[in-house]
Amino acid sequence: MKTTIISTAAVLSLASSGLAQTSEQSEPFQLIIKSADKRIDGKILEACHEGAAIEGLCTVNAEKPTAYNTFQFNTTSGQTISDKNLGPTGLLTFELQADKLNESEPLTFFSDPSTNVALPLFEPTQTGQQVGFDTANCMHVQSSLDDTVNPPTSTKVRGLYRWYVCKTNFEGYVYETLAWVLGNGKPENPSCQKVDVVRQFEKI
């Protein structure tokens, strides 16, 4: 899937300022889908156009690394790692190439109050959703909050793996994309299939 991206230098400058706090960047990698559903197992994630300087993560058949399916992980040096098996947290970034400029955009989560399915999007923003990669290179979100008890409490940091592949609709762009389910319940979207997202440095 090839993408046409329209943006302005003013909008892109926000992405740069948002990443200024990170100081270490990984080697480029691809994101592979692992699922019990054979139809999507082994597919890769690729940045797909969902608005001006906004990209979702669409599923495509495996192919050689391109600018659209290559990502990086930006972390802050010296951070305290709560669980070595989970590793550090940081920003997953995509390099937006437009208007003769290359700018890193961080991954964010867009949520709509009508659903418990959030959309991971790359956007020109000053903040992003912190993620991590465990020792098996599986992408996750770390949390120490447990609000399933009364009163809510802090627990040992744990990795959440609430990734799904769903048919999504963002501003009229309908794709099969990566999604994140808010909370520990089932996704409301009936098209959603549970997946793991695995980082792969080697060429596909």
Over residues 118-147, the pLDDT tens digits come to 999 999 987 899 999 999 999 999 999 999
13: three-class secondary structure by DSSP: helix
Tokens (6 digits) for 2: 């090839």
CB-count exposure of residue 17 (10 Å: 0-12, 13-18, 19+):
exposed
pLDDT in tens, 23-63: 799 999 999 999 999 999 999 999 999 998 999 999 999 88
Residue with tokens 């550090």: 88
Q: Is the pLDDT of residue 5 over 60?
A: no
User: Identity (one letter) of the amino acid at 150?
Assistant: N
Q: How confident is the model at residue 204 (pLDDT cuts 50, 70, 90)?
A: low
The pTM (predicted TM-score) of the whole model is 0.86
Domains present along the chain, CATH in parentheses: 9-200 (2.80.10)
